Amino acid sequence: MDNSSSIIKGKAFVLGKNIDTDQIIPAQHLVYSLNDPEERKYYGSYALSGVPDEESGLPMGHIPLVAEGAFQSEYSIIVAGPNFGCGSSREHAPASLQIAGIKAIIAPTYARIFYRNSVDGGFVIPYESLEDLSAEIKTGDELIINPDIQQVENESQGRSHSIRKLGSVAEIVQSGGIFHYARKEGMV
Amino acid sequence: MTLTEKILANHSNQSSVEPGDNVWIDVDVLMTHDVCGPPAISIFKNEFGEDARVWDREKLVIIPDHYIFTEDVYANRNVDILRAFAADQDLPHYYDVGTDRYKGVCHIALPEEGFTRPGEVLFGTDSHTCTAGAFGQFATGIGNTDAAFIMGTGKLWVKVPETMRFVFEGDEMPPYLMAKDIILQIIGDIGVDGATYRTMEFGGSGISAMTMEDRMTLTNMVIEAGGKNGVVEPDEKTEEYVRSRTDKDFTPVYSDDDATYHSTYTYELDKMVPMVAKPHSPDNKATAEELEGTKLTRAYIGSCTGGKLSDFQAAAEILKGKTPVIETYVVPATTEIADALRTEKIGDQTLLEIFVEAGCHIGEASCAACLGGPSDTFGRLNGEEICISTTNRNYPGRMGSKQAQVYLASPYTVAASALEGSITDPRNYLS
């Protein structure tokens, strides 16, 4: 599967800075199996449930990523401030976002373990924006990410913003994760 | 090269590496626990086969520590998965719950059991794996997929980080100052992403004056500044500690005098003061003095950051013969520390007697409420508590309820604040 050059379209869900992994998936929920199809769904329903209500779905806030009782979100792109995914090393964080239906994240910077987990596990694509777009883009805006021209187009506002090339992890993203990459390279 | 660059060069069979290089390195130790072990095992089996064997059974260490004393059936099932895997793979380094081998918090158990050897590479499925850098080891946290990859291959790719150097001047720690104050000051200065993808190397005469436990407190919290790893050059104290815990050989490495650093920060120990991180971020710094009078409803002493023996010695020094006016929780990181609370004394009382007499709630060795966890977790914040804690993180909801507020501080400051029911500079209680 080739992820890195595919165009991603969808609704934005906007968050502030320093969204840590406890906010992405609170620790009490880490007990469910990521393998079992029935249990796995819960990670979707609890994704981003640790974000304080007033900071969830900016600029208005009080918008849950996943509606009560649902397992999947109507949003597919997270737009956040700097240092997204700081805190713990739990891979359940990018996994829960993927299970909720998130395809990509756009943030100016990431915490390194979260970034690595997103790429190596092939969960979500962590695109870096040149600037913090969390005050520009509004929750619900329709976005189109076009990695080939390194742009994210905001259809709702008629504006475009630049994103960076994936750089040294592009091959792993293209392969769909570290195992796919390593097999391609004959390492495992 | 810096110490970190040398370890990465040694482990990737290269004569030298530079920051920014992507290298595949050989792993000396992989550690996992009950939260991330089961998903890592599941990925390992999916990718390498149901009957696959781990790359080296001597190098995989499994330490259940997160959700141990809970009725949560899913959490208990996760420990069952670890137990079955350890039996199936015949793993010598599994520390099972409910047995004499049970240890408690992995980052403190690893050094106790001799796995934090200078010059080696340790990966763990926990962000505070960086604690082991106190021993001159390259140690960092990874996710389940990367752990599964190591289980099958013994290797992992890393990007060589730049190194930031933090130099401490002074020949001894001022009597009121703890390593926790120092690292909170640094995180407050550089921010929660101030060291992202970099190494934080701690040195200077002040480091020589610090105990191994002090150094562990520093390296433990480098992740709170976004650091990839934290590291202290090994010295006689390191050597003595590690030799007392393992017979295995190791080769310490040291930074070259002409090593290139991203930046250098210098701190004078005798000018530093008790620090607090306010809600809801570890870099939201203030001095304990500035916050005096801030009302609290709970005090918590525990975790890989603040649940070591010296942390309890410090707390007991202040609590001895006195009574906290707010609920105060004491959770030793490991069973070895729990045992030491029964034997270590201040005057004629053991530390445990001091805490019991003070009316503290004493928990069993584990991560407990540091990261919230299942609703029946010991000490968990379930409502609108305002807690001062020796733990490492205070983002919203970290210790349970997202309505709660957490102040991070040293064991001295937490103990003094428990006595007053409000944030208190511990110098008021230390002669």
Residue B104's φ and ψ, nearest 5 degrees, are: 110, -145
Q: Which helix (H) or strand (E) holds B81?
A: helix B73-89
Q: Which residues, including other chains, have CB under 8 Å from residue B339's CB and lie 6 or more apart?
A: none
DSSP-assigned states of every residue in B329-376: EEE-SBHHHHHHHHH-EETTEEHHHHHHHTT-EEPPSS-GGGG--STT
d(CA B100, CA B102): 6
Predicted local distance difference test score (pLDDT) of residue A4: 54
d(CA B34, CA B82): 7
Backbone angles phi, psi at A184, to 5 degrees: -60, -35
Burial class (CB in 10 A: 0-12, 13-18, 19+), B317: middle
What is the DSSP-derived secondary structure letter of residue B161? P
Per-residue pLDDT of B203-251, as tens digits, reads 999 999 999 999 999 999 999 999 999 999 999 999 999 999 999 999 9
What is the Cα–Cα distance from B311 to B180, expressed in whole angstroms?
Answer: 10
Give A120's contacts in chain B (Cβ within 8 Å).
Answer: 143, 145-146, 149
Contact B332, B312 (CB under 8 A): yes
Cβ atoms of residues B234 and B136 within 8 Å = yes
Q: Backbone phi, then psi, for B62, in 5-degree steps? A: -120, 120
- Does A59 sit behind a cis peptide bond, omega within 30 degrees of 0 on the bond before it? yes
Q: What is the pLDDT, as a whole number, of residue A1?
A: 44
Q: Do A28 and B47 touch (CB under 8 A)?
A: no
Q: Per the CB < 8 Å rule, is A22 touching B22?
A: no
- In angstroms, the CA B301 to CA B309 distance is 11
Residues of chain A with pLDDT under 70: 1-5
DSSP codes of every residue in chain A: ---TTS-EEEEEEE--S--BHHHHS-GGGTTS-SSSHHHHHHHHHHTTTTS-GGGSSTTT----SS-TT-SS-S--EEE--SSBTBS---THHHHHHHHHT--EEEES-B-HHHHHHHHHTT--EEEEBSS--TTTS-TT-EEEEEGGGTEEEETTTTEEEEB---GGGHHHHHHTSHHHHHHHTT--
A158: left (phi over 0), alpha (psi -120 to 50) or beta: left
If phi > 0 it is left, if psi is from -120 to 50 it is alpha, else beta; for residue B136 that is left
The pLDDT score that the predictor gives to residue B10 is 98
Percent of chain B at pLDDT > 70 equals 100
What pLDDT shows up at residue A3?
52
The pLDDT, as a whole number, for residue B219 is: 98
With an 8 Å Cβ cutoff, are A31 and B72 in contact? yes
pLDDT value at residue A38: 96
- Substitution target in A51, A110, A116 with the highest count of B β-carbons within 10 Å is A116
Distance CA B221, CA B201 (A): 12
Interface test with chain B among A91, A96, A109, by most B beta carbons within 10 Å: A91
Model pLDDT, residue B243: 98
* Nearest CB partner across the interface for A91, out of B66, B143, B157: B143
pLDDT, one tens digit per residue, over B242-271 is 999 999 999 999 999 999 999 999 999 999
Size of interface A-B (CB pairs under 8 A): 143
The model's pTM is 0.97
Facing residue for A179 by CB, picked from B47, B228, B396: B47
- Over residues B101-115, the pLDDT tens digits come to 999 999 999 999 999
- Test the B interface: residue of A38, A62, A86, A109 with most B CBs within 10 Å: A86
The distance of A44 to chain B (nearest Cα, Å) reads 16
Residues of chain B with pLDDT below 50 are: none
Smallest Cβ–Cβ distance between B226 and the set A31, A83, A91 belongs to: A83
Rg (CA), chain A: 15
Q: Which residues of A touch B375 (CB under 8 A)?
A: 28
Render B300-324 in DSSP notation, one character per residue.
Answer: EEEHHHH-SHHHHHHHHHHHTT---
Between CA B143 and CA A88 the distance in angstroms is 9
CA-based nearest residue in chain B for residue A187: B153
Find the CB nearest B39 among A91, A113, A179.
Answer: A91
Contacts of B92 (CB under 8 A, 6+ apart): B57, B58
Q: Is B234 helix (H, G, I), strand (E, B) or coil?
A: coil
Q: What is the CA radius of gyration of chain B?
A: 21
